[in-house]
A and B are shown apart, each in its own frame.
Chain A
């Protein structure tokens, strides 16, 4: 930032301030008529400028920007940083699962128990897929899953049977 540039800024700000004061008083002389004409250089040196107005307006308005007046003390900072709105909320909806004892949220299924069920379901689905052979071959009958040593009951008459070579797990009750 050159000295001449800064001087130019000061000059323009001074004139801007002056016109605003005159306007406030009521001296709205929109027709700019020189009160005194002097030959030669004026009070302030006139310099030719070809720049855009955007940069000029920023430099002009620099005197009217918001800035903090005082340093924020550590006490005030602490009050702002530590108020309950900014702290992490304590969750009261965590409880142990009655089946496995792992922690779970009240409205969500236990992750451990669900994983057990998901794996078993995936294995059963693999068997179903092997039985069907090709895709889009779903038969229009019910399915029943039988474990080792189980025989189909009377109610499972027309159903498709899926065999699983293991003992029935305790959480998969036969209705």
Chain B
């Protein structure tokens, strides 16, 4: 593990406190993970998404590296149809990934009174529209070049007029 500042400050502590206790935390994270496997893109509070990411990556790693089905995945994803989806769809899709299996983005704070810090967590290769698109550099467009020329000329004439 990289020795980053948050890691050093934590003094070996790992995993946030959530909900009504450790059992409640595990149940909550299991529900969120089930939702992620079903819908492939979910919106929750940033802290929960960050915690679920750890478990999502661990489960994907476990399933991808072993060829025979692991029964521990039943405790994590409790719906029958999702277990089939995990092995037949997600493992082949994510197996070829060299980087992480999930993506986490922060979105603007929730609209309700708590203004909670929200995030959207998605699995790679999902069928939905992408959250981040690379905008083509519009500096080379004709209009922008003309405007740039006009701006430079204006500053030049102002400098010359000032002198």
Residues of A within 8 A of B (CB): 98-99, 107-109, 111, 114, 117-118, 120-121, 124-125, 136-145, 162, 169, 171-173
Q: Does B23 contact A (CB under 8 A)?
A: no
**A143-B127 in contact (CB<8A):** yes
Q: How many residues of B contact A (CB 8 A)?
A: 27
Main SS of chain B's interface residues?
A: mixed
Residues of B within 8 A of A (CB): 38-39, 41, 43, 79-82, 84-85, 87-89, 93, 105-108, 120, 127-133, 135
**B89-A141 in contact (CB<8A):** yes
> How many A-B contacts if CB must be within 8 Å?
68
Contacts of B127 in A (CB 8 A): 124, 142-145, 162
**A140-B88 in contact (CB<8A):** yes
**A140-B81 in contact (CB<8A):** yes
Residue of B nearest to A124 (CB): B128
Instruction: Other than A108-B108, A142-B127, give 9 A-B pairs with Cβ distance below 8 A.
Output: A109-B106, A109-B108, A117-B129, A140-B81, A140-B89, A141-B88, A144-B127, A162-B127, A173-B130
**A137-B81 in contact (CB<8A):** yes
Residue of A nearest to B105 (CB): A109
